Amino acid sequence: MTESPAPADMPELFTWEFANDPYPAYAWLREHAPVHRTTLPSGVEAWLVTRYADARQALADQRLSKNPDHHDEPSHAKGKTGIPGERKAELMTHLLNIDPPDHTRLRRLVSKAFTPRRVAEFAPRVQELTDDLIDRFATKGEADLIHDFAFPLPIYAICDLLGVPREDQDDFRDWAGMMIRHGGGPRGGVARSVKKMRGYLAELIHRKRNDPGDDLISGLIRASDHGEHLTENEAAAMAFILLFAGFETTVNLIGNGTYALLTHPEQRARLQSSIAAGERDLLETGVEELLRFDGPVEMATWRFATEPLSIGGQDIAAGDPVLVVLAAADRDPARFAEPDTLDLSRTDNQHLGYGHGIHYCLGAPLARLEGQAALATLLTRLPDLRLAVDPADLRRRGGLIMRGLRTLPVAFTPLER
């Protein structure tokens, strides 16, 4: 790799201060070193792309491969999409680790089963789940919104959608909880949870093959394209990526989104009165703005240069890893007016929170559905919801790709039983 200059005023990356508020450092990078080579905490060297125009171009550049075999240190970079357990070969063949033509084939097949219509039909169930979860803590007057709400909602939602029977969903909740801790749990806990989930999914897929239902797993098994079907391994990897791509991201949308609303009282009041008046416009633009302002995915997943190329005038060598920093691009003043201001009514908002190009988020309609239901229901049912701690005491969860809070303690007037 070619060295890029590291001036004395360059902010330090990947510290705790940075994790809590990376935006000033990203502003510096955008201005002074928009395509910047850095050493990540894991020791791997990668290029960070921080300007909106470069980011959008890089996300769509087919010379940047998603396949970790293109990295010149594959043993380091393999399994770095942030999805636990993906080093297991049978779970590796998923959308975020492959390129066309395999990606095109798998995405087309999954898109036949995971349709916007299926998601729209799921809306009443998402509302029911949202209300049930709020019922569980509403009489207490306090809650940890991450643990009690943002975390269980997406896991139950995706389990229902996939066709995991209700009586098994708490097992999923436990396994997912272990995985999201990024190794912070008991020794071997993550590996054990991945193994259990993998075994469970393989068995479920086998069962659904013999006795299909109206769920997404049965849809994945049934989906065919020019006579081609997913193999059982591919279907298991697909169910796993849907679970993981759709889990921590949505936890963080609800967590970061609620936090942003609670710390921007004027915007929150506008949204609350608009929802009370039965309007949806501000809720819809508002959730997009929350994704732009402090989105769940800080950096897009790993990409690797398959040939020498240039991004924003910076030469990148074949084999170099590239990380597109969505959080930096979405605050670029060259693209967004007053980018550091939260404006829920922003309409010129083509943010990169869901990515761009062929890997654009497949679950965006489900994420929007869950995000809108979660925020609207919280603000309606707990109208005086407030932070129960000083914002300075809140901590972010570690990890390169995702951006989210560990806990979000809140207080409110308890609802009557």
Contact residues for ligand HEM (CB under 6 A)? 59, 95-96, 107, 158, 241-242, 245-246, 249-250, 253, 291, 295-297, 300-301, 353-355, 359, 361-363, 366-367, 371
By C-beta, is 361 or 387 nearer to ligand HEM? 361
**Tokens standing for residue 278:** 């039965």
CB 82 within 8 A of CB 400: yes
Nearer to ligand HEM, 95 or 164 (CB): 95
- Minimum CB–partner distance for residue 94 and ligand HEM (Å): 8
Tell me the residue nearest to ligand HEM as measured from the CB: 363
Q: Characterize the bridge pairing of strands 314-316 and 309-311.
A: antiparallel
Burial 293-305 (b: 16+ CB within 10 A, else e): bbbbbbbbbbbbb
Of 69 and 135, the one with the shorter C-beta distance to ligand HEM is: 69
C-beta of 110 vs 382, nearer to ligand HEM? 110
What is the nearest approach in angstroms of ligand HEM to the Cβ of residue 289? Answer: 13
Output the smallest distance, CB 411 to ligand HEM, in A.
26
Quote the least distance from Cβ 91 to ligand HEM, whole Å.
13
Compute the distance between CA of residue 70 and CA of residue 320 in angstroms, rounded to an integer.
8
Q: How far is the CB of 264 from ligand HEM (least distance, A)?
A: 19
Nearer to ligand HEM, 138 or 400 (CB): 400
In our burial notation (b when 16+ CB lie closer than 10 A, e otherwise), range 206-242 reads: eebeeeeeebbbbbbbebeeeeeebeeebbbbbbbbb
324 bridge partner residues: 49
Q: Which is nearer to ligand HEM, 138 or 323 (CB)?
A: 323
DSSP states of 281-301? HHHHHHHHHHHHHH-SBSSPP
In whole angstroms, the minimum distance from the beta carbon of 37 to ligand HEM comes to 19
141 backbone φψ class: left, alpha, beta (φ>0; ψ -120 to 50): left
